[in-house]
């Protein structure tokens, strides 16, 4: 009779709401610590290149000459290493994803 | 021309590298006599990534993040084994809170691995709803991990000298609640594994490995313990295991059912260990300052959910290591697997491969 409690559980699942979420129709609630993507508050960035040197996957490119900070979102492995090493704390790990990725592989920001 | 229907023909059936039962690529040439396997020849190497070589290109602190990406399931253990080796080389004494948290996460990872394995096993013998049930329960463990570390399978919380993230008391409280609920639900599922006649008929007496052979072939983990050998690296007392109360779980039949029993018991043992960790959780810092570069070599053994894993690190006093070697449990279990497959029915082979809990991405690194 080992299967009786199991049948009960299966029936309960049949009539309760799905355990999965219908994404992207429904909203996924991320926990505070969820590692979604990296954001840079570019006005604070001093383009020191620390993040580039410490990134294990080489996802960041900083160019002092062009005043640009660039991240390749598909190379980034969301490890937060860059957030830790940034001297001015302008980088942050945001707990959600960046919508549907654009066709261009990298995001580029220009410092005025 | 007369055909002799009684002649026992030998045929070779390829298993994998793409097979529905296993998403990872391992290839076996099964030599069959009628429906019985007389010999199996494994070949691996489809997803080799050269992670060990990468250690020369990334500095030793970055490499933690790469070490844990060896595998998606034992990722916490891989990171932990690597940092432990570096910490031993550098003579770092990490704070007790970090040790307890590492132990807690390692046990949560074991729970999620074992629930995943139970699901895959149910899928292999064709019990679809049991498979989904197991994975539904596993999701709760993943939620706990996501809550505390920010990742579902790759946690990135270890660093040389301690941890990168602390856990709040509310989180620990929530883990305790979730585990209480989880245990009740798991009982229903695991009782089905242990008592359902259909499940028993697929697993009892299938793929027997004797204790002597299991040891000779160098098996490890639940696969070895199911053959009655009491060997569990957690008994070495690394991290906080020395301060927790537990006994290695063994079963003596050595068949697929025994392996299932061992993993089910370990699931509950892990819940108990997480509770013990939380009850004894000390306060204080979670990391120590790291100065200089490692110089020397060290080898660490830890018990991954799938068995004993070795981490060897050799450093030369620069930021870049000379050698990193990782022997993973699946690699050690393949000879044992080949032994069990011999003499089995073709229909049971897929299930028997699953009972070693193969992780090919670990094996090939
Ligand atoms: S470490 Fe911070 S300040 Fe330096 S370049 Fe990167 S984002 Fe800018
Ligand atoms: S999160 Fe990690 S991988 Fe991504 S950019 Fe930062 S350091 Fe690089």
CATH code at position B240? 1.10.645.10
Atom of ligand 2 nearest to the CA of A75: 3
Residue at B267 is within a domain: yes
Residue at B1 is within a domain: no
B 46-85 near A (Cβ less than 8 A): 58, 62-63, 65-66, 69
Give the pLDDT band of residue B39 (cuts 50, 70, 90): confident
Domain positions in chain A are: 35-112
pLDDT of residue A101: 52
pLDDT of residue A56: 86
| Average pLDDT score, chain B | 85
Distance in Å, CA A78 to ligand 1 centroid: 16
Residue at B30 is within a domain: no
Q: Could you tell me if the CB of A64 is within 6 A of ligand 1?
A: no
Sign of the torsion angle spanned by Cα atoms B140, B143, B144, B145: positive
What whole-number distance in Å separates Cα of residue B24 and Cα of residue B112?
Answer: 18
Question: In this complex, is the C-beta atom of B265 within 8 Å of any C-beta atom belonging to chain A?
Answer: no
pLDDT of residue B1: 47
Contacts of A76 in chain B (CB under 8 A): none
Question: In this complex, is the C-beta atom of B150 within 8 Å of any C-beta atom belonging to chain A?
Answer: yes
Residue with tokens 């957690």: B234
- pLDDT tens readout for residues B76-135: 889 889 998 988 888 888 888 888 899 999 999 999 899 998 888 888 877 788 888 888
pLDDT of residue B222: 87
- DSSP 8-state code for residue B331: H
pLDDT of residue A106: 47
Residue at B45 is within a domain: no
Q: Is the pLDDT of residue B7 over 70?
A: no
Prediction ipTM score: 0.78
What's the rounded mean pLDDT across residues B8-22?
A: 79
Q: Is the pLDDT of residue A84 over 70?
A: yes
CA atoms within 13 A on the CB side of B187: 6
Ligand that lies nearest to the alpha carbon of residue A46, given by its number in the listed order: 1
Q: Is the pLDDT of residue A111 over 60?
A: no
Q: Could you tell me if the CB of A40 is within 6 A of ligand 1?
A: yes
Lining ligand 2 with CB less than 6 A are A 38, 55, 57, 59-60, 71, 76-82
Give the pLDDT band of residue A103 (cuts 50, 70, 90): very low
Distance from CA of B325 to the nearest CA of A (A): 19
CA–CA–CA angle B154, B316, B323 (5° rounding): 50
Distance from CA of A44 to the nearest CA of B (A): 24
Residue at B164 is within a domain: yes
Q: Confirm if B312 and B85 have CB atoms less than 8 A apart.
A: yes
Q: Is the pLDDT of residue A104 over 50?
A: no
Distance in Å, CA A55 to ligand 2 centroid: 5
CB contact under 8 A, B65 and A79: yes
Distance from CA of A92 to the nearest CA of B (A): 14
User: B58: which 2 tokens?
Assistant: 């990334």
Q: Could you tell me if the CB of A50 is within 6 A of ligand 1?
A: yes
Beta-strand ranges (E) seen in A1-112 are 37-40, 60-63, 68-71, 91-94, 107-110
pLDDT of residue B129: 83
Q: In chain A, which residues touch B (CB < 8 A)?
A: 2-3, 5-6, 8-10, 13, 19, 31, 33-35, 54, 56, 77-81, 84, 93, 95
The bridge status of strand B162-163 relative to strand B158-159 is: antiparallel
Provide the residue range defining the domain that includes B120.
Answer: 60-364
CB contact under 8 A, B69 and A77: yes
What whole-number distance in Å separates Cα of residue B269 and Cα of residue B246?
Answer: 8
Q: Is the pLDDT of residue B3 over 80?
A: no
Distance in Å, CA B54 to ligand 2 centroid: 17
Q: What are the residues whose beta carbons fall under 8 Å from the beta carbon of B168, sequence distance 6 or more? A: none
Mutate to test the pocket of ligand 2, among A73, A77, A90 (most ligand atoms within 8 A of CB): A77
What's the rounded mean pLDDT across residues B321-336?
A: 86
- Fold for A35-112, please state it: Alpha-Beta Plaits (3.30.70)
Main-chain dihedrals φ then ψ at residue B48, nearest 5 degrees: -70, 130
User: A92: which 2 tokens?
Assistant: 């942050």
Q: Confirm if B351 and B206 have CB atoms less than 8 A apart.
A: yes
CA B130 to chain centre: 21
Ligand that lies nearest to the alpha carbon of residue A54, given by its number in the listed order: 2
Between A43-47, B99-103, B166-170, the lowest mean confidence (pLDDT) is in A43-47
Residue at B218 is within a domain: yes
**pTM score of the predicted model:** 0.85
DSSP secondary structure, B178-240, as one string? HHHHHHHHHHHHHHHHHH-HHHHHHHTTSS---HHHHHHTT--HHHHHTTT----GGGG-TTT
Distance in Å, CA A47 to ligand 1 centroid: 5
- pLDDT tens readout for residues B275-310: 888 888 888 888 888 888 888 889 998 888 888 888
Determine which of B65, B139, B148, B152 to mutate to test the interface with A (most A C-beta atoms within 10 Å).
B65
Contacts of A2 in chain B (CB under 8 A): 191-192, 194-197
Give the pLDDT band of residue B5 (cuts 50, 70, 90): low
Residue at B51 is within a domain: no
Sign of the torsion angle spanned by Cα atoms B109, B110, B111, B117: positive
Residue at B55 is within a domain: no
What's the rounded mean pLDDT across residues A18-33?
A: 80
Determine which of B142, B168, B188 to mutate to test the interface with A (most A C-beta atoms within 10 Å).
B188
pLDDT of residue B304: 87
CB contact under 8 A, A79 and B156: yes
Contacts of B321 in chain A (CB under 8 A): none
pLDDT of residue B8: 62
Q: How many domains does chain B have?
A: 1
Q: Report percent pLDDT > 90 for chain B.
A: 2
What whole-number distance in Å separates Cα of residue B269 and Cα of residue B261?
Answer: 12
Q: Is the pLDDT of residue A97 over 80?
A: no
CB contact under 8 A, A6 and B185: no
């Amino acid at each position: 009779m080992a299967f009786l409690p199991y049948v009960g559980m299966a029936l309960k699942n049949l009539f309760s709401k799905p355990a999965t979420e219908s994404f992207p129709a429904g909203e996924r609630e991320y926990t505070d610590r969820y590692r979604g993507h990296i954001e840079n508050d570019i006005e604070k960035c001093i383009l020191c290149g620390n993040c580039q040197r410490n990134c294990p996957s080489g996802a960041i490119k900083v160019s002092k000459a062009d005043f640009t900070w660039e991240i390749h979102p598909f190379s980034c492995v969301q490890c937060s290493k860059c957030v830790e090493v940034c001297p001015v704390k302008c980088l942050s790990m945001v707990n959600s994803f960046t919508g549907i990725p654009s066709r261009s592989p990298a995001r580029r920001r220009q410092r005025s | 021309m007369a055909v002799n229907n009684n002649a026992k023909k030998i045929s070779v059936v390829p298993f994998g590298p793409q097979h529905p039962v296993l998403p990872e690529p391992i290839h076996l040439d099964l030599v069959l006599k009628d429906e019985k396997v007389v010999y199996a020849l494994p070949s691996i190497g489809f997803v080799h990534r050269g992670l060990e070589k990468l250690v020369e290109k990334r500095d030793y602190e970055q490499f933690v993040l790469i070490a844990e990406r060896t595998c998606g399931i034992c990722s916490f253990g891989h990171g932990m084994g690597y940092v432990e080796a570096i910490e031993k080389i550098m003579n770092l004494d990490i704070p007790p809170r970090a040790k307890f948290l590492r132990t807690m996460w390692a046990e949560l990872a074991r729970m999620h691995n074992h629930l995943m394995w139970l699901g895959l096993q149910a899928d292999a013998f064709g019990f679809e709803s049991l498979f989904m049930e197991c994975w539904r329960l596993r999701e709760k463990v993943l939620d706990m991990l996501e809550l505390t570390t920010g990742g579902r399978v790759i946690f990135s919380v270890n660093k040389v000298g301690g941890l990168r993230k602390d856990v709040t008391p509310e989180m620990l409280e929530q883990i305790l609640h979730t585990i209480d609920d989880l245990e009740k639900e798991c009982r229903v599922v695991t009782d089905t594994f242990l008592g359902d006649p259909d499940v028993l008929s697929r697993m009892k007496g299938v793929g027997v490995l004797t204790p002597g052979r299991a040891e000779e072939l160098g098996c490890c983990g639940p696969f070895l313990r199911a053959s009655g050998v009491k060997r569990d690296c957690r008994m070495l007392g690394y991290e906080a295991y020395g301060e927790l109360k537990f006994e290695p779980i063994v079963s003596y039949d050595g068949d697929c059912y025994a392996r299932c029993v061992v993993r089910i018991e370990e699931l509950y043992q892990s819940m108990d260990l997480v509770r013990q960790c939380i009850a004894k959780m000390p306060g204080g810092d979670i990391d120590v300052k790291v100065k200089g570069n490692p110089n020397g070599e060290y080898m660490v053994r830890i018990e991954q959910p799938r068995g004993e894993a070795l981490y060897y690190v050799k450093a030369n006093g620069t930021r870049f290591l000379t050698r990193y070697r990782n022997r993973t449990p699946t690699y050690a279990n393949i000879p044992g697997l080949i032994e069990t497959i011999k003499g089995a029915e073709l229909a049971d082979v897929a299930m028997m491969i699953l009972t070693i809990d193969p992780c090919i991405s670990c094996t090939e690194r």
